[in-house]
């Protein structure tokens, strides 16, 4: 996992994470397929862009179409028609953010689809992900939005640690061993003491993958980097590190510099659906009047299908008249940009030029957001 000749001060790594459905190149990015699809794209698009793995949402899939239905279909890979690795989050963040209540037992919530009442426990979250047959499962955790009172952050951190212990006990007690990897989530908000305590406790439990949660949820950029620096220094170097829900280039580059391996985010496709393109020179608002009559691609020299065939002016027209094709074209470009970013990052790690790349990204993008 470790770069053979890292730059001074860098903990960046380049390697591969082995899973039952193939290797994931790291540093790597997982497009988000919340309900089993990447918004506005199909698997042919995602394959052609070169992504090794995707992230799906256990909360949504267990409610619709249901775990039993997917299991009968042969598991999530077969159901989706996707034959590369899949990571599923536990569903805890969605259960909480959509009105759920955290207790020591688990999260009590009502389905957004039919209003039925559910209790999502650490054991149930693992049972769901085992039935889905995914490559990487994530233990249940509680993620408070920031800023939040320190009492709330402390309670969520300790509750997450208790759930993590129950998760790993249930995981190893399972009768079925399929090669599935289990990720434990380090919480702690932006409190240095809580982050340290959570990281040390999680390492003692011995997870396959260490996820860093509770960031990019309202904190300042500097606070985010400070917490990342603390946690990555405490996590074992022989296990993958996964930063949850982060897709902005400045944070990605800083996190990779500190030794983070995996990322996921809805940012590329969410920006695309709103007509904002990601480029090496920062964000471009394609709905703006400045894009009208521009007979140039979104980004000069970009090799994505959108830039090879369409102009900014045409895409702006599609966006303004409400054609879904416009939102799809920008989403496709943004994922191509993200994949290209990670390709260049890997080369920069291998050539010892990551710091220069990091500074260039920060110049054009500003602080992560």
Cβ atoms of residues 262 and 252 within 8 Å: no
Q: Known catalytic residue: 45?
A: no
Q: Assess whether 204 carries a catalytic annotation.
A: no
CA distances from 160 to 9, 125, 150, 151 (A): 31, 13, 15, 14
Tell me which of 45, 52, 89, 135 is the catalytic residue.
89
> What DSSP character marks residue 248?
-
Cα 346 to Cα 323: distance, rounded to the nearest angstrom: 36
Helix (H) or strand (E) holding 159: helix 150-173
Q: Which residues are catalytic?
A: 89, 264
């Amino acid at each position: 996992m470790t770069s053979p000749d890292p730059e001074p001060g860098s903990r960046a790594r380049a390697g591969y994470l082995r899973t039952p459905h193939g290797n994931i190149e790291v540093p790597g990015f997982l497009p988000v397929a919340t309900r089993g699809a990447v918004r506005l794209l199909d698997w042919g698009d995602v394959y052609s862009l070169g992504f090794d793995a995707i992230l799906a949402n256990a909360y949504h899939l267990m409610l619709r179409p249901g775990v039993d239905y997917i299991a009968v279909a042969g598991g999530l890979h077969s159901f989706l028609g996707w034959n590369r690795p899949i990571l599923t989050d536990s569903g805890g963040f969605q259960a909480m953010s959509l009105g759920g209540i955290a207790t020591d037992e688990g999260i009590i919530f009502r389905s957004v689809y039919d209003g039925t009442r559910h209790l999502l426990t650490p054991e149930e979250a693992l049972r769901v992900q085992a039935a889905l047959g995914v490559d990487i499962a994530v233990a249940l955790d509680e993620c408070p939005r920031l800023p939040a009172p320190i009492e709330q952050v402390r309670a969520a951190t300790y509750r997450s640690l208790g759930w993590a212990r129950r998760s790993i006990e249930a995981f190893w007690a399972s009768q079925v061993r399929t090669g599935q990897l289990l990720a434990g989530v380090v919480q702690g908000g932006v409190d240095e003491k809580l982050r340290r305590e959570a990281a040390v406790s999680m390492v003692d439990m011995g997870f396959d993958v260490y996820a860093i949660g509770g960031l990019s949820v309202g904190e300042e950029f500097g606070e985010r980097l400070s917490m990342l620096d603390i946690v990555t220094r405490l996590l074992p170097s022989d296990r993958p590190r996964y930063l949850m829900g982060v897709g902005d280039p400045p944070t990605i580059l800083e996190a990779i510099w500190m030794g983070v391996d995996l990322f996921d985010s809805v940012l590329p496709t969410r920006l695309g659906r709103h007509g904002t393109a990601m480029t090496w020179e920062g964000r471009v608002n394609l709905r703006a009047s400045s894009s009208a009559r521009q007979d140039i691609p979104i980004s000069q020299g970009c090799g994505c299908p959108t830039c090879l065939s369409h102009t900014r002016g045409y895409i702006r027209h599609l966006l303004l008249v409400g054609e879904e094709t416009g939102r799809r074209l920008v989403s496709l470009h943004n994922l191509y940009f993200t994949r290209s970013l990670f390709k260049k990052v890997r080369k920069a790690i291998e050539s010892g030029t990551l710091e220069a790349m990091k500074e260039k990204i920060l110049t054009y993008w500003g602080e992560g957001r």
